Structure 1
Amino acid sequence: MVSLRQVEAFHAIVEAGSFAAAAQALGTTQPAISKRIVELEADLGFLLFDRGARPPQLTRHGHALLPLCAEMLALRTRMRATLDDPAEYAGQFRIGITELVALTVLPALITRIRARLPRIRLRTEVKLAEDLHQDLLDRRSDMAIAPGPPPGGLLHARKVASLELAWMAGASLGPLPPGPLPAAALARFPLLAQTQRSGLQAVVNEWLLENGQRPQLILACNSLTALSGMTIAGLGIALMPRSQFLPKVASGELRIIETTPPMPRLDYHVLYPASGLEAVAGIVAEEVAAVGPGLG
């Protein structure tokens, strides 16, 4: 079987001009170099050097083999560079994201990641926070950009954004009481919500319970876009990221309901597990942090 040591010896002889010079360049002995060439010729079934010439000259088969050996040695160099430098990573990297990430910063994030990791193969999947956390723990993804407190100590976590939240109502819902409204007054409206696996919904439930109200959700869905559409249609009120929907407020389609106490902020984290891809994940996490303010 042809080995890289044989290929390296063959290439070194051609580059250095003799067996002795090749041995010196590779830090070995001339007999060791000669042995490698004999083995290589035996493996291939052809003579590569004309030993009668001084210095040894390539045969026709040697000339044919030379560019292939150069490619093999260049590939070895690339392999070493890939292993040494995470920026050379050319494999798949799976990122779980929320719908909010997809709607706001995803194009900018992918552009930045590709600038740092030009050979990476990215795959993104939109899910709710609880599912994103579970995918990481089950190793079905390599990274998640998710809201809420991260799960236990198996993951690296870095806060990348802190979102201001606001209760919102559509113009067609009718007049609102003068605010700010306490939780009890808010709970009298039909409450629209994301499903329980949502980080945003966890904030809703905790805030209502802390203020003496049991969440009475009228309609739940797992899409922020659908939730805003139902709110605009006047089907109820919903808690949503303030900055993302300010254009709808400016157009009059939505109204902000101020509350007392104010709603807590929702922190977003980039999360990744301890794995063989930590160096690559660290680069991606830096770019997530760079675009994080765009979440709101």
Structure 2
Amino acid sequence: MNFKQLETFVWVATLGSFRKAAKKLYTSQPAVSSRIVALEQSLGTELFSRHAGKFELTSKGVELLPYAQKMLVMADRFKERACETNSLSGMLRLGVSETIVHTWLSDFLQHVHHSFPNVDIELTVDVTANMRNELVSRSLDLAFLMGPISEFSIQNVDLCSFELAWVCSPEIELPEGVVPLQTILEKPVITYARNTRPFAEVQAVSKQEDIEVSRLFPSTSLAACKRMALDGLGIGMLPLALINEEVDQKRLRKISSTWEPSDLVFTASYPREPFNPLAEKMATLAADVAHDYCG
């Protein structure tokens, strides 16, 4: 029994595929199969049952998997402690919500470049629902998203929260003071994409209050939402941090309403197993950067 065999066992069990494990470990599928067979022979027990071209963990495989995972975690922590922080290296597949892109992502990347010069980041900007799926399938190593993710296999680290505000062009006629929600929803509403929490909140409150929504303009691009609000195409439900300058310049008006959307809460989320010291370290760094930005 050796480390490569244990690592292969964990990845095959985690990804549910010899092919995906081979891709993750940068080796061939026959090599993965050979390692599993060798491990089973050394242990004297079957870890996977194979039938009709399919496979699944045996009861003994299920029993031994947590031990193998812990051994990999301890090996990674051993290597991490043996190395200086600035020697940390590798590729990190990072998913980021666009809200973070427009606020403190640049600060985070500068800290990474300064503190971990040997770390390369492959960046994907996407909505939370897609990033959650990619974390679970291990297509991403780490994501900054609207969290936390309620999935036992995902570790969540608190980052920051942003106030979500109603805003519109001064050209749109609305009463002064607190504006009833119904009056706001009589106008086109510009907000996050359909498969996001803010969009779902607007739909839920309109049904609860029995208010008919004039029109919803969902978009995966916050930059596009901001532009449409500035152009007077509707009332935007946007992060205040994104449009503070426009509000100060009176190019956008912040609206007080009888119903306010919930703050956007973000986490740095990453798979617990197999242990990835790079993802853990970057999540901790992101929490520090976010705290400095949000105060």
TM-score (structure 1 length as normaliser)? 0.66
Matching of residue 131 in structure 1 with residue 130 in structure 2: yes
Aligned length: 216
Distance 2:214 2:118 in 1: 49
Contact 1:172 1:233 in 2 (8 A): no
Post-superposition offset of 1:211: 3.9
Deviates more, 1:270-279 or 1:92-101: 270-279
Change (3 A) 1:295 1:230: farther
Distance 2:203 2:82 in 1: 47
What's the secondary structure of 1:151's corresponding residue?
Answer: coil
Deviates more, 1:99-108 or 1:86-95: 86-95
Distance 1:202 1:105 in 2: 26
Post-superposition offset of 1:277: 4.5
Structure 1 counterpart of 2:43: none
Identity %: 22
Post-superposition offset of 1:244: 2.1
2:162 aligned partner, one-letter code? L
1:146 aligned partner, one-letter code? L
What's the secondary structure of 1:152's corresponding residue?
Answer: coil
Aligned equivalent of 1:226, options 224, 234, 239: 224
Distance 2:215 2:134 in 1: 27
Contact 2:198 2:261 in 1 (8 A): no
Structure 2 counterpart of 1:147: 146
Matching of residue 268 in structure 1 with residue 266 in structure 2: yes
Contact 2:153 2:273 in 1 (8 A): no
2:233 aligned partner, one-letter code? L
Post-superposition offset of 1:217: 3.4
1:109 aligned partner, one-letter code? F
Contact 1:203 1:266 in 2 (8 A): no
Post-superposition offset of 1:265: 1.4
Change (3 A) 1:165 1:271: same
Distance 1:210 1:199 in 2: 16
Post-superposition offset of 1:163: 1.1
Structure of greater Rg: 1
2:288 aligned partner, one-letter code? A
Distance 1:98 1:155 in 2: 17
What's the secondary structure of 2:195's corresponding residue?
Answer: coil
Distance 1:182 1:279 in 2: 49
Post-superposition offset of 1:102: 1.3
1:103-136 CA-to-partner distances (Å, cap 9, x unmatched) read 2111110122233333111111111111111111
Change (3 A) 1:81 1:262: closer
Distance 2:237 2:246 in 1: 14
Unaligned stretches of 5+ in structure 1? 1-79
Q: How does 1:1-296 map to 2 (within 5 A)?
A: 84-85=82-83, 87=85, 88-173=87-172, 175-213=173-211, 215-293=213-291, 294=293
Contact 1:133 1:151 in 2 (8 A): no
| Aligned-pair Cα RMSD in Å | 2.4
Unaligned stretches of 5+ in structure 2? 1-77
Change (3 A) 1:143 1:211: farther
Contact 2:157 2:284 in 1 (8 A): no
